[in-house]
Chains A and B, each alone.
Chain A
Amino acid sequence: MPSAQPESTALLQTPLHDLHLRLGAKMVPFAGYAMPVTYLAGLMAEHRQCRDSAALFDVSHMGQLRLVGSDAAAALESLVPMDVVGLGEGKQRYAFFTNHSGGLLDDLMMVRPTAADAAAGFGDLFLVVNAGCKDADIRHLITHIGTRCTVLPMPERALLALQGPLAVVALSRLNPGVAQLTFMTGGAFTLAGAPCFVTRSGYTGEDGFEISVPATHAEALAESLLAQPEVKPAGLGARDTLRLEAGMCLYGHDIDETTSPVEAGLTWAIQKVRRPGGARAGGYPGVAAIESQLTSGAPSKRVGLIGLERAPVREGTPIVDAHGRKLGKVTSGTLAPTVNQAIAMAYLPIDHALPHHEVYAEVRGKRLPMRVSPMPFNPHRYHRA
């Protein structure tokens, strides 16, 4: 991750640290935090738990912050190529901060809370950013829009993700109101006695929720979720295989400061109103580079790859053509538990990025055939409106 802490710095702990230890988690350093990579069940079982029922993830390392002020949405539009002003109350949207060359500084989720939820302290915009980028993101926001709105980090809150087809069954027992949420909407709900902000979204491709909860109540909420028969804990290992099967980017691996949203296949996230010809076109960092690529295309593209053999093809593996010429390299890859094949993401020149095109992964001196595949590798199963 880009701003990983130096090794001499002690690892930070999330409010669920003691619970992880009690549950027998294997803890690893991640973005400066001690995080559970697996629990006793193991990665495959935790992955299946999420696909089949419901899995609880601690993602409290991620950055939560709110923007307060009547100009917050317009101000944020100066840093992201998204329609923020037009985002309806209670609606959530995927976004990314761009730099001056059109690369990606971080990707994030933003929600516009209702007026009542804003008054209850969830801000005029509520943002969740990547753990490894959060300090830089906060500086970026304060530097560029700190005079137009108030940027308020929320380190006093934990973040839980409850993901899977039965997540709604389990969470509804704590508060039936959450069942009214649809994919990419959110609102304030009381859960286990605590004021929470709940969105119906996630990073697994399944239906599910992300729950912002006061750190003081995080363990009690996690315990009441784990007491539901549908729910078991899952670690960052399963979170990574789930998001990869869902075709989602991991910041610092599949996207970074050198990749443009067009190359990364994220143009769907740039609303028409911000594109050339739109009412609020441009006005964000890197607009020249991004608009040029929106019009003429990018020289390379992020693609999905499926291995025709079972060997996992991991991050950094060179991808070559039939003549052994280097085309690119893998940015994420694993043996996917649900699709039960080697899957990967890589950047390839556009003439090699067509579906079903065959390329080769160089693994231990062998050339393993892989086929360019549409993503997601595993179908999304969201609860849409």
Chain B
Amino acid sequence: MTTKFTSDHEWINTASIEAAVVGITPHAQDALGDVVFVELPEVGRSYAKGEVAGVVESVKAAADIYMPVNGEVVEVNEALKADPALANTDPMGAGWFFKVKVASTAEFDGLMEPPAYETLLQSL
């Protein structure tokens, strides 16, 4: 599997260290409800793991998006800005948030494998 997860209910596709794709999980979008606004990170800026890199807001609530790894943001999803509901309708696909360039695959160590994330969801 190339997709890993965080305890903040974000996913990251680890297939490429040049542009690892980050988004929120189906659980996260379900808990938020209808997403109406996203604030995405700055392209070209480097963020530390755990740093707030954006915001996702539904009608009822706002949640921070955390950087799941140390790295530089290389692209943000402009389509998501224009149509934030993509985070609800296709959270693991067209509703991605940004792509991040990391130094090495070692950055992905410590992220959750799918079974571990499943276990976390079941414990909620």
Give the B-binding residues of A (Cβ under 8 A): 37-38, 42-44, 237, 241, 310-312, 314, 334-335, 337, 364
Contacts of A364 in B (CB 8 A): 39, 55
Is there an interface contact between A42 and B37, defined as CB atoms closer than 8 Å?
no
Residues of A close to B62: CB separation below 8 A = 312, 314
Within 8 Å of chain A (Cβ to Cβ): is B107? Answer: no
Q: How large is the interface on B (under 10, 10 to 19, 20 to 34, 35 or more residues)?
A: 10 to 19
Q: Which residues on A sit within 8 Å (CB–CB) of B39?
A: 311, 364
Distance, CA A108 to CA B1, complexed state (A): 58
**What residues of A have a CB within 8 angstroms of the CB of B55 in the complex?**
364
CB distance from B40 to the nearest CB of A (A): 12
Contact with A along B55-75 (1 / 0, CB 8 A): 101111010000000000000
Whether B37 pairs with A43 at a CB distance below 8 angstroms is no
Additional pairs, 11, CB under 8 Å, beyond known A312-B37, A335-B36: A42-B33, A44-B36, A237-B59, A312-B57, A312-B59, A312-B62, A314-B62, A334-B60, A335-B37, A335-B57, A335-B59
Question: Closest CB of chain A to B39's CB: distance in Å?
Answer: 7
Cα–Cα distance between A46 and B60 once the two chains are bound (Å): 13
Interface residue B34 (Cβ < 8 Å from any Cβ of A):
yes
Q: How far is the CB of B89 from chain A (nearest CB, A)?
A: 11
Q: How many A-B residue pairs have CB under 8 A?
A: 36
Pick the contact of B34 from A37, A43, A310 — CB < 8 Å? A43
Q: How far is the CA of A56 from the CA of B55 in the complex (A)?
A: 32
Complex alpha-carbon distance, A37 and B32, angstroms: 12
Contact of B33 among A237, A310, A311, A312 (CB under 8 A): A237
Residue of A at shortest CB range from B31? A26
| CB of B59, distance to nearest CB on chain A (Å) | 5
- The answer to whether A37 and B60 touch across the interface, beta carbons within 8 angstroms, is yes
**Chain B residues engaging chain A, CB cutoff 8 angstroms:** 33-34, 36-37, 39, 55, 57-60, 62
**Complex Cα gap A42–B57 (Å):** 15
Complex CA–CA separation, A311 to B36 (angstroms): 8
15 contacts between A and B (CB under 8 A): A38-B33, A42-B33, A43-B34, A43-B58, A43-B59, A44-B36, A237-B59, A311-B37, A311-B57, A312-B36, A312-B37, A312-B59, A314-B62, A334-B60, A335-B59
Alpha-carbon distance A311/B38, docked complex (angstroms): 8
Query: Which of B37, B57, B59 interacts with A241 by CB under 8 Å?
Result: B59
CA distance A42 to B34 in the complex (A): 7
Q: How many angstroms from the CA of A37 to the CA of B37 in the assembled complex?
A: 20
Within the complex, what minimum Cβ distance (angstroms) separates B9 from chain A?
17
Report the nearest B residue to A364, measured CB to CB: B55
Min CB distance B35 to A, Å, is 10
> Which residues from B are CB-within-8-Å of A37?
60
Inter-chain CA distance A44–B39, complex, in Å, is 20
Asked if B37 and A310 sit within 8 Å, CB to CB, the answer is: yes
Query: Is B57's CB under 8 angstroms from A43's CB?
Result: no
* A30 shortest CB reach to chain B, Å: 13
Q: How far apart are the CA atoms of A48 and B39 in the complex, in Å? A: 25
Cα of A364 to Cα of B33 in the assembled complex, Å: 21
A42: which B residues are within 8 A, CB to CB?
Answer: 33-34
A237 to B55, CA, bound (A): 21
Interface centre among B34, B55, B57, B62 (most CB of A within 10 A): B34
* A43 vs B59: C-alpha distance when bound (angstroms): 8
Neighbouring A residues of B36 by C-beta, 8 Å: 44, 310, 312, 335
